[in-house]
């Protein structure tokens, strides 16, 4: 059984993430979408909210599950018996950092990273940009699933009302 993990922050999940999960689910027998904690980034959504949105977004795939992890991705892979990490590459600018992480992860445990080129229509798409554009009133409804868009607008309203933690 070929299993893979699609790790990320997913704050929130975008159509670009779903594109990568879709393609990973065609390449592997089982895919675990893993929501990690990256301490260098501030989050709009809690891990629970991010997991819930991913579960909804991945409902249509019968070989995809969603899990949270804290700590090292390689520890999660060891615990799950997973030897493949799938990462989307939007542009060469992603490559330097992703290569470094892939090599670090391979040095820590028996895991290969598989890079999947993002579909061109999503090559500009990043959760951070979606949040920024939405925060300033731009229309991001075509970039995330409709239910994520609704939750994004609610969360940003809460944040503006001072309930932002």
**Catalytic residue annotation:** 17, 41, 90, 127
Q: Find the binder of ligand PNS among 7, 12, 16, 88 (CB under 6 A).
A: 7
The residues near 104 (Cβ < 8 Å, ≥ 6 apart) are: none
Would you count residue 104 as binding ligand PNS (CB under 6 A)?
yes
Question: Which range in 54-62, 100-108, 109-117, 138-146 contacts ligand PNS by CB under 6 A?
Answer: 100-108
Output b/e per residue, 25-52; b: 16+ Cβ within 10 A: beebebbbbbbbeeeeeebbbebebbbe
Size of the site for ligand PNS (CB under 6 A): 11
Question: Which range in 23-31, 35-43, 51-59, 148-156 contacts ligand PNS by CB under 6 A?
Answer: 35-43
Angle at Cα 125 formed by Cα 118 and Cα 140, nearest 5°?
Answer: 140
- Report d(CA 121, CA 119) in Å as an integer: 6
Would you count residue 36 as binding ligand PNS (CB under 6 A)?
yes
- Report d(CA 26, CA 146) in Å as an integer: 24
Would you count residue 38 as binding ligand PNS (CB under 6 A)?
yes
- Contacts with ligand PNS by CB under 6 A lie at 7-9, 36, 38, 41, 72-73, 101, 104-105
């Amino acid at each position: 059984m070929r299993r893979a993990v699609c790790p990320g922050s997913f704050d929130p999940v975008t159509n670009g993430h779903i594109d990568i999960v879709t393609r990973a689910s065609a390449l592997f027998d089982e895919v675990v979408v893993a929501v990690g904690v990256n301490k260098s980034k501030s989050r709009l959504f809690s891990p629970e909210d991010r997991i819930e949105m991913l579960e909804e977004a991945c409902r249509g795939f019968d070989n995809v599950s969603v899990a949270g992890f804290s700590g090292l991705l390689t520890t999660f892979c060891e615990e799950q018996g997973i030897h493949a990490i799938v990462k989307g590459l939007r542009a060469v600018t992603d490559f330097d950092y992703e290569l470094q992480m892939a090599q670090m992860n391979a040095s820590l445990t028996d895991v290969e990273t598989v890079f999947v080129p993002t579909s061109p229509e999503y090559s500009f798409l990043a959760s951070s940009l979606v949040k920024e554009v939405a925060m300033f009133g731009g229309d991001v409804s075509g970039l995330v699933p409709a239910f994520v868009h609704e939750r994004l607008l609610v969360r940003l309203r809460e944040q503006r009302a001072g309930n932002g933690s």
